[in-house]
Structure 1
Amino acid sequence: MAKGLKLTDRLNRRLIESGFSKDWYLIPLAAVIGALTGLLATGFDLLVESSGHFFFGVLGQQRFPGSRLALLVILPALGGLLVGLIIRYAGKNKSEPGIPDVVESLARRHGEIPARSGGLKMVTSSITIGSGGSAGVEGPIITIGSSMGSTIARLLHIGREHMQTMVGCGAAAATAAIFNAPIAGVIFVLEIILRDFSLRTFIPIVVASVFGTAVAHAVLGENQAVFYVPEVVTGGYGFAVWEVGHYIVLGVLCGLLGALFIRSLRLSEKCWNAIKLPFWIKPALGGALLGLLGVGFYLMGYGNEPVVNHSPPTFFSNGYPVITALLNPESYLPDHPDEPGVIRNATLALLALTLAFKLVGTCLTIGSGGSGGVIAPSLLMGATLGGGFAMICQHLGILPEGGTPATFALAGMAGVIAAVAHCPLTAFLLVFEITADYQVILPVMLVAILATTVAQLIFRDSIYALWLRDRGIKMGTYSDLTLLRRMTCHDVPLTPAVMVQPDDPAARLIELAEDYAVVDYVVTDEADRYLGMVVGQDVRATLVQRDAIPLMIVSELMRTNLPTVAPHQTLDVILEQFAKHDVASLAVVDGSDVIKGVITRSRLMRQYQSTLSERG
């Protein structure tokens, strides 16, 4: 054993001497996390597919009087009920959105995500999506991958300063594997989850993303885009300057739709939270209401498989077959072959109805407690908006020559994702990779940027930032918030606490101020356990009435509402407490409330600036 440790130390020293960082071991570890997460992602994809086959291929084929309409309500309601019961017996009080869960764990629990959370999310999400719930796989798969990275890091006793990177490796590998999008997987994690583009974080996450994608390719035996885009869409396409106006309008519409989606989802969550029912029943009720939308869709004349070989309504589940059909130019032609992957009659009414029902259906599914993400619904809404906008232009005779609604559907996908998540870079890279189509990248970029701008004018925060704000977490700038989350109270030199007791005379505070040059005092009991603080501004206010000081005791000046600080607490949380209570110092205590010292705002900021300078 000792010989093995010596060999490891020698290898570590030799690598550092050769110019490698002392954290070189994170790179092979990232490869392991990426490979294992790639296996999990393919397993999850198979689970979602199997769940869909069970609900619509087995249960959905049962025949009885009125079965076609009844099953549209029964299947999503049954899926919701199963999800609610699983969450209840797993000891949870509701299903949480995946990505905000991961960010919260990084901010408050140093990235510690139990493996059980990933397993629970895998099961509940596959049931939600498979039974027709209007949600996507990206939120659940990121939770699954993040829990893998966190679990491996904990098993190997990786330091807390690297836990964030390991969680990011799992999230990036999962995103890359499920979407076959290694570049977008990296950027999504850096832009949305970690908000850290430093080189020490970037390299391991790239490695994990590559290995996750490669393993998924090996298991599936293929390397294909998620959505097939016929060559006719881009074979002769070239972005021309006279098309700019069309894409500007589409970008504005995508921004407005993204803002409407955020507002609707927030309103839906508020309404569901106000309903006085057991939480585990709500997903079933949400599924039933989604099914009633399906019944309405059927009664409006769209019940005979609008998309060939795809039996559920177009707004059920993740909508991938519908998106693929919308990216096929033949779907928009009046006469085309009745073949898989084509919409039988892509009328403007069908696209508008799909968009509206997808928005409402997603709010019902996620708002009621169903498990899933918002990116897949955003992709479908963007595709219907883009395709519908181009059809209107076509009817008005202003569609650019050689243009097709399929191209605008592609740009709309990026626009709505960017508007909902405020991530334009991720949006156009994701659309580029999941379609393997470079020809339309220029209009896609333009639409994504404009959509983000419009959405931010309406909502300062993305849907993820709003969810996090509900939990008391604010997403700051990339560099400062990331560094504050990495540093803890341990990193800041503490000031010795000047302690007094509640029954001490107030005059003693004046004496201590002269002896120790302090303005804030910690009030303790006889065992040095924290009771409260006397802060400088209160003492100064008392000095205005000096005649009253001999008659007062410390307890009359003591503040009992000031929070204490634990040694392991991160600096972003501590800084927020300083701002909230407007004090210069806070007491640091151990698990028994015994005083360890005082942390001051000035020392915290000096240490932060010093560390920031060292990082360059």
Structure 2
Amino acid sequence: MAFFYAVIYLPTRSLIGSDFDSFELLSVEWRIGLSLSACVVLALLFTVVPRKLQKVGVPYVIERLNHHHGNLPVWNAVVQFFSAAIALVGGLSIGKEGPAVHLGATLGGYLAEKAKLPQYGVETLLACGVAGAISAIFQTPLAGVLFAFEVIFLEYRQRYVLPVLLSSVIATIVSHYVIGPLDIFSIESISSVLLSTDLFVACSILVVVIVLLSALFLHTQKSLWRFSGVSIWWRFLLVAIATTLAAIYLPESLGSGYLSLSRLLSGDLVLYSLLLLIVVKTVLTALTIGLGIPGGMIGPTFIIGGLAGVQVALVFDNNVADIALFALLGMAAMMAACFQAPLTALVAIIEMTHSSAAIVPALFVIVLACLLVRVFCHQESVFVERLSFMGMSSTISPFQRYLRHHTVKPVAEEVLMFPEVVSIERVKDLASSMVDYIAFEHGDELRLLRRKAVLDALIMLDQGPQIWLVSEEDKVKMNLSLALDSVSIPVIDEPSSLEAMLAWFQETGLTEVLVSTSSDSYSLVSRHRVDQFLLKSD
């Protein structure tokens, strides 16, 4: 994430100066040139890159988590890295959080794959990657953890909390050490908040504004998703035209747009309609992302909500302290409404601004905005809506989740490995063994026998010499393939979860299989034992 940050901001700092994301400080020619160049380069890139590698972003992470066991191809992350960097350097109206989530999740999934972890281990490392990425980009460790659970997993996973917290904290420390402190907003004027009727009336109006903006943001994107089959050149050309117009007439809407909000919070007022900037920023971001530009939405929604909060505060003729308060409330409400992540939004503004004075009114606007968006707009998280549009579910059934959280160990029975010709003494030792099955190699296959059947065959020695008796090195041995009718049994590597094991039984129609747990160790797994486990656990 530190490298991603450097790739984005070192070029822009060399062009703009000390302030990054401040494209309004550039000349009109530079702004137009950057936005057009970014769209052309991205169109060329996506024309060359295979279509399967063009899938990037948070919806793709959720799709791979739910439908592909968290397997995220590395080359998709490479495409995400460079495409997002190009778009951000070009000043397109996107954020860096979506690409950060994709990169972090890919790293977690890659490490889990190399370590051959079970499914719950894959999900744990994927959550660690997501939380670490958000924490490194914003330096908000707790918000990173909540984002992983509320936005990616869509539920809280208690068993994942400790490693995800550790990943998030370490990512913040590394980011702080490499990049330095990221004080995006400096809000020192809020010392206490006086709860009053006027405050909650203003908050209610802010909620209405946020709900309208979030509906505009989502429905603009939904109307553009249907054009995903149109040529990339036409789609990116439309983005280039819209961004160029914004670069000429309203440059504050370019990039993440933090500078305009920071100026408002410091007491500087814009010279044109703030409402116009809010609407343009909302539509431009939705247009850019809806037409396929790979970027994030968290940063832009923060800015849109913050500007909306300032607009409401100015309508009520409040002082600068109240402007800062309503900016915070708008940021939290807009993020919560768009992503249906109330706790993430609340904690994010607290950690980003180092101020907890706004918790009570923030909870009020967050809860009310989320409820109104759900009830009246029938709107889920923008990522959930995107997956639904693609015909995919954003969640898995409780039954699938239960299977994924268990390995085959609860249903596996230990198997002793014997040579095909075994000494009588070793066969007699089976009488004191607690293992019910033995396996031996016969040619290129493994055959399975019950321990009790082998012992019963040994008793037949009392009736005289048997056909399976073999003399080797002055020792009497038993040939297992001659002593008993054995069955050949398939061998597979240990599945990542019970879900994968059950899927194997359903695909093959077999009822038993030997699972290789190490180079010379095997366990027997049967469909009957799996069914018993599920019925017992209900």
Partner of 2:245: 292
Conserved in 2, the CA contact under 8 Å of 1:386 and 1:409? yes
2:228 to 273, 277, 300: 273
Given that 2:384 and 2:394 are in contact with CA atoms closer than 8 Å, whether structure 1 keeps it comes out as yes
The one-letter amino acid of 2:244's match is G
Please tell me whether residue 282 in structure 1 is matched to residue 235 in structure 2: yes
Q: CA RMSD in A?
A: 3.5
Distance 1:604 1:255 in 2: 48
Shift of 1:71: 4.3
Q: TM-score with structure 2 length normalisation?
A: 0.72
> Residue 54 of structure 1: CA displacement?
6.2
Range with bigger deviation, 383-392 or 362-371: 362-371
Q: 1:255–1:453: 8 Å Cα contact kept in structure 2? A: no
> Who is 2:62 aligned against?
103
Deviation (angstroms), 1:346: 2.5
In structure 2, relative to structure 1, the CA distance for the partners of 1:491 and 1:249 (3 Å cut) is farther
Give the match for residue 46 of structure 2. 87
Alpha-carbon distance in 2 for matches of 1:410, 1:187: 19
How do residues 143-222 of structure 1 correspond to structure 2 at under 5 angstroms? 143-220=102-179, 222=180
Map 1:127-146 to 2 at 5 A: 127-146=86-105
Q: Distance in 2 between matches of 1:431 and 1:606?
A: 49
Instruction: Tell me if structure 1 keeps the 8 A contact 2:35–2:244.
Output: yes
Question: Which of 338, 355, 358 lines up with 1:440 in the alignment?
Answer: 358
- 2:310 aligns to what? 387
Which of 246, 257, 265 is the matching residue for 2:202? 246
What CA distance in whole angstroms lies between the structure 1 residues aligned with 2:320 and 2:277? 26
1:44 equivalent to 2:4? Answer: yes
- Is contact 1:238–1:439 with CA below 8 Å preserved after alignment? no
Alignment partner of 2:265 out of 289, 302, 327 = 327
Q: Which has the higher strand share?
A: 2
Distance in 1, matches of 2:242 and 2:97, equals: 24
1:56, distance to aligned residue in structure 2 (A): 5.8
Q: d(CA) in 2 for partners of 1:478 and 1:327?
A: 45
SS in 2 for 1:449: helix
The answer as to 2:217 corresponding to 1:261 is yes
Distance 1:323 1:373 in 2: 18
The answer to whether the Cα contact below 8 Å between 1:117 and 1:144 also exists between their aligned partners in 2 is: no
Aligned residue in 2 for 1:126: 85
Say whether the 8 Å CA contact 1:384–1:409 is kept in structure 2. Answer: yes
- Cα shift readout 1:40-69 (whole Å, capped 9, x = no counterpart): x11111111124346767xxxxxxxxx954
Q: Which of 270, 279, 290 matches 1:346?
A: 270
Contact 1:375–1:417 (8 Å) recurs in 2: yes
Partners of 1:135 and 1:317 within 8 A in 2: yes
Q: Determine if contact 1:72/1:292 at 8 Å carries over to the other structure.
A: no
Contact 2:72–2:106 (Cα < 8 Å) also in 1: yes
Residue of structure 2 equivalent to 1:235:
191
Residue of structure 1 equivalent to 2:391: 472
TM-score where L is the length of structure 1:
0.64
- Cα distance in 2, alignment partners of residues 605 and 452 from structure 1: 41
Query: Partners of 2:296 and 2:337 in 1: how far apart?
Result: 15
- 1:489 Cα deviation from its structure 2 partner: 11
Query: Is the 8 Å Cα contact of residues 256 and 451 (structure 1) preserved in structure 2?
Result: no
1:171 Cα deviation after fit: 0.6
Structure 2 CA distance for partners of 1:568 and 1:155, relative to 1, 3 Å: closer
Alpha-carbon deviation of 1:378? 0.7
Name the count of aligned residue pairs: 434
Aligned counterpart, 1:35: none
Larger mean CA deviation between 471-480 and 133-142 belongs to: 471-480
Secondary structure of the 2:506 match is strand
| Structure 1 residues 610 and 380: alpha-carbon distance in aligned structure 2, compared to 1, 3 A threshold | farther
Q: Give the match for residue 318 of structure 1.
A: 256
Match for residue 431 of structure 2?
none
CA drift at 1:387: 0.6
Give the structure 2 partner of residue 360 of structure 1.
283
Shift in Å, 1:106 = 1.0
- CA apart distance, 1:253: 2.1
* Change in CA separation of 1:144 and 1:189 when aligned onto 2, cut-off 3 Å: same
Equivalent position of 2:20 in the other structure: none
2:349 alignment partner, one of 410, 414, 431: 431
The answer for the alignment partner of 2:475 in structure 1 is none
How far residue 269 of structure 1 moved from its aligned partner, in angstroms, is 2.4
- Residue 18 of structure 1 corresponds to none
